[in-house]
Amino acid sequence: MKMACIFLTLFHRKKLIKIIQHGASQLSVADYYNRIEIWKNSTLNYQFSMSHIWDRFLPKQLSFFQRFANFILKTLNQIKTRRLFLKGFYTGQLEREYGIIAREFYVLYGEVILDKKLNKMFLQNPKFILKSKKQLLQIIQQQIKYKRLTIAILVVIFTIWTYIFGCNVKNLIFKILKEREKARLDKLRGQKYLEIDNYECQICYERPRNIIIKPCKHLTLCHECIQRLKQQKCPICKQQIEDQIEIFFT
C-alpha cells in the first residue's frame, strides 16, 4: 500500500531542499484483540508511523564547469571546519517512498466510543497512528507542555491586564480625591470681592476683622474674638460655624 512519496532536490552533498508528500487515499486497520472498528478521517496523522521503503536517484546532466565547481567546493568543505555559503550545483533528483508496513503492530490514538445498542466499540476519527507506545507518551507529554504553556501565557496576560486595570482605578481614585481636596482647600471660591465698610471687629471694635466664617461667609470677627466665642455661631446670621478662613492685610 503506497502511503507517501517524497521528492528531494539535492546538491552534490545531497542536502534536502524540498519535500512533497501525498497522503493515502485508503487505510484499513483491524484490531483482532478488542474487535474495535476504526473509522478513519482525513486528519489522521501518519508521520510517526512511516517507514522508509525505497529510494530512486535521477541524476542530472552537468556541464564540465559545474562538475569542476562541485569538485572544488566539495574539497574546500572537507578541508575547512566552517562550511561555505555556496554548496554547489544541483546534481539530480531523489525520489523517496515512505509507507506503512503490512502485518505490523501500531498504536492508534483517538476516542473510543461504545455503542450499547449494537454492542460494538468504535475508534472514531483517530488522530495519530504510531509505531510504539513510546511515541504515544511523547505526544501526550508534548500536549501537556503545550497546555501548561498556554495556561502560563494566559496567566501572564491576565496579570498584566489586572495590573493595568488596577493602575487605572488607582489613578481615577487619586484624581477624585485630589479634586475633593482642591475643592476643600479652595475656601474662597465664589468670593471675588469683599465689600467692607470698616475693618473693626463687630465684637471688640479694636482689632481688624480678619476671619471669614464658613459656610455663611460673613466677615465680622477678629482672630481673638472668634477664639473666645462661647457658642460657635455666626454673630450675624446665627448659623453654626463649620470652618473659618483667616485673611491677612498688608
pLDDT digits (tens, 9 = 90+) for 221-243: 888 888 888 788 888 888 888 88
pTM score, whole prediction: 0.42
* Domains (range + CATH), the chain: 4-136 (no CATH), 187-250 (3.30.40.10)
Contact 70, 12 (CB under 8 A): yes
Going by C-alpha positions, the residue among 53, 141, 31, 143 that lies closest to residue 101 is 53
Beta-bridged to residue 58, according to DSSP, are: 93
What is the tens place of the pLDDT at every residue in 128-161?
A: 778 778 888 888 898 899 999 999 999 999 999 9
